[in-house]
A and B are shown apart, each in its own frame.
Chain A
Amino acid sequence: MTLAARLRGIPSWQVTLGVALLGLGFLVAAQLASEGPRVRYTTQERSPLVETATDLQADQEALKAAILDLRTRIQAAEQAGQGSAALVKDLNDQLQSARIAAGLIPLTGSGIVLQIEDSQEPADPEGNMQDLLVGARDLRTIVEELWQAGAEAVAVNGERMTPTTAVIDIGPSILVNSAYLAGPYQVTAVGPDDLYARLSASPGFVDFIRARAEAWGLRVSIAEPESVDMPAFAGTVTLRYARPQASATTAAPAP
């Protein structure tokens, strides 16, 4: 009997049940996995403040999507400009290169993805609970080590590291750019083929693994996919205080 014929022989309700059970198993696992040591309060205690924060986060997702969409449309409109072709083309080329430099264009290239998660070890009643959680300082150390290993672009959970990016703790969650992130944290880096080798050979990174993963049980894993996707920065690049210095001429050479 061929496989297809055998499959046809199975009653369709069994297939349905099989698929449903598979989905059930996956969801039970996902649910259990997402209940880490951070969950201390039950849903019944969820306050209006949590609702407000959740709503504000949804607003933020919409605003970021709007920014990315507007930038794409502006870029298209700028490139559609007809007439005095040479000047416009030169300006557009400079703009494209400046936007890539500023992290405003999504990229794809060679690189690595490092994932770090909270420890699953039981909290020592005498010790500090914070030691078992991934903190802003942990993420900053990883990002600094990646830069030193030769990374050319880095993002954490979809938030691109830019000239204005701060990474700070707010209670047990971590603020990066405008976004509050929760674990597991995925640090994506674009860089040379030996990025992983250089990172794992760095004394600073070895110290970090010893101090945080080995001593406290933070779970660190590194993947080297065929290619990694680097998100664009969906934040504000309009500076309110900084201006170009008078002597700096940034526009294209006069036609």
Chain B
Amino acid sequence: MHQRRNQLTIATVAFVLGLLVVVQLRTQASGAAFAALSSQELTVLVANLNDRNDALRGEVAALDRELSTLTANTQRGEVSVDELRADLRRVRLYAGIDPATGPGVVITIRGPIDGTGVEDLVNELRNAGAEAMAIETVRLVPGVVTAGAAGVVTVDGVPLADPFELSAIGAPSKLTGSLTRSGGIIAQLAATQPDVVVEVTPLDRVDVPATDRELVPSHARPRL
């Protein structure tokens, strides 16, 4: 009798435990954040996830091809110098180590903008697919911050003149559209910083310089 009651207790605890594990896992997996979104927000999110997953699929395909070429070369006993060079060019361009050129936009900013306003513009351009950017001659890489109060803005510590230019390489129509759409970042700036004038010019060719920063961290090493 005593033994049976023990078993019953354990069975009950095990049941509740199992139930909680499932509930907890579902909460974690499906993301409480998703359940809190409105259907309009979810529609944006699904469209966004579709786009971004397509881009990731493209990268997987490109890496697959690269690996096949390398493997085939090795099997033939050849050295893949061309592939190594192409890979190096691609990574250096992305990182900002080499100067870049391509279609894009040049944005002229006049008036007393503050650092946060410039960072918001840069963030919006990245969201619209900007691939390489610079403010005047400073390439925008991780670590470079535009800061300061209205009218005394610095980029990476260098004071900016009025007006100054922000250059971005990417699809010109997409970059322009994302900035100038109604309720977009330029409209928001006009509301919060009315003395600032932002002018966007789509161009077939925009040049962006290389960074002069050291991008390899000195306080960390590769993790194996």
Contacts and interface: CB of A to CB of B under 8 A. Distances in A.
B101 to A, nearest CB: 5
A21 B67 CA distance: 50
Interface in B65-85: 66-67, 70-71, 73-74, 77-81, 83-85
B181 interface: no
A78 B101 contact: no
Interface in B140-188: 140-145, 147, 169-171
Contacts of A241: 102-104, 131, 169-171
Contacts of B59: 67, 235-238
20 contacts: A39-B32, A39-B36, A54-B30, A88-B81, A95-B87, A102-B215, A104-B91, A105-B222, A107-B217, A111-B220, A147-B145, A152-B143, A152-B218, A171-B38, A171-B42, A180-B31, A236-B58, A237-B91, A242-B101, A245-B101
Contacts of A107: 217, 220-223
A153 to B, nearest CB: 5
Interface of B is mostly: helix
B50 A56 contact: yes
Interface stretch (A2-10, A30-38, A119-127, A216-224): A30-38
A43 interface: yes
Contacts of B221: 107-109
B46 A49 contact: yes
A166 interface: yes
Most buried by A among B16, B27, B59, B60: B59
A101 B222 contact: no
B21 A27 contact: yes
Contacts of B190: none
A162 interface: yes
Contacts of A1: none
A66 B67 CA distance: 13
Contacts of A27: 17, 20-21, 24
Contact of A171 (B45, B71, B100): B45
A197 interface: no
B45 A98 contact: no
Contacts of A110: 219-220
A225 interface: no
Nearest to B21: A27
A41 B88 contact: no
Nearest to B115: A144
Nearest to B157: A148
A152 B219 contact: yes
Interface residues of A, number: 119
Interface string A168-208: 10111101001011110000001111000000000010000
Interface of B: 6, 9-10, 13-14, 16-17, 20-21, 23-24, 26-39, 41-46, 48-50, 52-53, 55-60, 62-64, 66-67, 70-71, 73-74, 77-81, 83-85, 87-104, 116, 119, 123-124, 126-127, 130-133, 140-145, 147, 169-171, 207-208, 210, 215-223
Give 9 closest A-B pairs by Cβ, nearest first. Answer: A109-B220, A171-B41, A101-B215, A152-B217, A182-B33, A102-B95, A166-B127, A178-B52, A173-B33
B153 to A, nearest CB: 13
Contact of A229 (B123, B216, B223): B223
A128 interface: no
Contact of B36 (A40, A73, A100, A147): A40
Contact of B33 (A38, A45, A102, A164): A38
Given A47-B42, A98-B91, A34 B60 contact: no
Nearest to A193: B219
Contacts of B23: 31
Contact of A192 (B36, B147, B216, B219): B219
Most buried by A among B6, B50, B223: B223
Contacts of B46: 49, 52-53, 56
B62 to A, nearest CB: 6
Contacts of B57: 63
Contacts of B52: 60, 178
Given A63-B53, A237-B59, A244-B99, A97 B216 contact: yes
